Amino acid sequence: MNKTALITGASSGIGLATAQLLAKEGYRLILAARREDKLLQLASELPTETIIIKLDVTDRAAVFAAIENLPHEWKQIDILINNAGLASGMSTIDKGDIDDWEIMIDTNIKGLLYITRAILPGMIERGNGHIVNIGSIAAKEAYANGNVYCSTKAAVDMLNKNMRIDLLQHPIKVTAIHPGAVETEFSIVRFHGDEERAKLVYKGFESLVGADVAEAILFAINRPAHVNINDMIIMPTAQAVAGVIHRK
Ligand code: NDP
Ligand code: 8X3
């Protein structure tokens, strides 16, 4: 049977592009996100066996129930792509909106942990699996007004390293992919729906697109059994580090 991958945040951006690429490569896909209409639309277009799960990764009980209730033929998850995530707001720490902080912490850290914890026992039982954690360049460097988002991604980076140690014995692969600027719905969400402000983030240079990150994910999951990609940083050519972009 072809390998099965579960992608969180498959309704948009990097997750959607990863679903499209993995489908072309013959992976069976479980697509998870909150917007069911987007998942249904995507699933109807993919040339592979696909199921969707309407899921909010911050809902701990729902995450465990969703994994528990997967149809029998979908229970064997070979690859978990922990992609669901968001930035919400951008301000100095003294002016931070605590609701923004909580949604980032709940989604980017706790949501990632819930789904990982729900899926890992099956991988361990089968002695096979691969977890791909989508971090960010924000995990590696602080930037102005990035405080809580950067911290949540730094947590993903550290969890990735710890998972690698904890899962070595089973042996389950663990990879972090850290993109720089990718034009997706990310900035629209960060600026609470302000599309004009979001567009400015990507103005004057060629950002990454979701498909660029999807290629990196595919490379990581297609390595031979004895090769593990621990950590990968993928940047637009015009971006050196977070906040340092050459714009025309
Ligand atoms: P998008 O906003 O386009 O996609 C985010 C995805 O996450 C959506 O599918 C959304 O689905 C899903 N999501 C958000 N919250 C939840 C939730 N509570 N439960 C389930 N799914 C959720 O952004 P990107 O594709 O850019 O972001 C994907 C990942 O990449 C994120 O972790 C982001 O931090 C990271 N990243 C992005 C970069 C960028 O520049 N764009 C750079 C570096 C990292 P729905 O709303 O339907 O639930
Ligand atoms: C998203 C990229 O630089 O806006 O993680 O933090 S950045």
Task: Note the ligand closest to the C-alpha atom of 239.
Answer: 2
Q: What is the pLDDT of residue 177?
A: 98
Residue 186 covered by a domain: yes
Residue 238 covered by a domain: no
* Reported pTM: 0.98
Tens digit of pLDDT for each residue in 167-216?
Answer: 999 999 999 999 999 999 999 999 999 999 999 999 999 999 999 999 99
Split into its structural domains, the chain has a count of: 1
What is the best residue among 136, 143, 157 to mutate for testing ligand 2's pocket, by most ligand atoms within 8 Å of CB?
A: 136
Task: Identify the band that residue 1 occupies on the pLDDT scale cut at 50, 70 and 90.
Answer: confident
Tens digit of pLDDT for each residue in 104-136?
Answer: 999 999 999 999 999 999 999 999 999 999 999
Cα diameter, the chain: 53
Contacts of residue 202, defined as CB under 8 A and 6 or more positions apart, other chains included, come to 181, 183, 187
Residue 89 covered by a domain: yes
Q: How far apart are CA 148 and CA 135, in angstroms?
A: 14
Residue 192 belongs to domain with CATH number: 3.40.50.720
Residues with beta carbon inside 6 Å of ligand 1?
8-15, 33-35, 38, 55-58, 83-86, 107, 111, 134, 136, 179, 181-182, 184-186, 189
Residue 147 covered by a domain: yes
What is the best residue among 6, 7, 8, 14 to mutate for testing ligand 1's pocket, by most ligand atoms within 8 Å of CB?
A: 14
Q: What b-and-e string marks burial along 124-139, b requiring 16 or more CB atoms within 10 Å of the CB? A: eeeebbbbbbbbbbbb
Q: Is the pLDDT of residue 217 over 90?
A: yes
Report residue 49 as tokens: 């066996």
Tens digit of pLDDT for each residue in 63-98?
Answer: 999 999 999 999 999 999 999 999 999 999 999 999
Domain that holds residue 143: 4-233
How far is the centre of ligand 1, averaged over its atoms, from the C-alpha of 86 (Å)? 5
Tens digit of pLDDT for each residue in 151-168?
Answer: 999 999 999 999 999 999
> Cβ(80)–Cβ(132) under 8 Å?
yes
What is the share, in percent, of the chain residues with pLDDT greater than 90?
99
Residue 248 covered by a domain: no
Residue 241 covered by a domain: no
Residue 146 covered by a domain: yes
Active-site annotation holds for 149 = yes
Q: What is the pLDDT of residue 8?
A: 99
Residue 242 covered by a domain: no
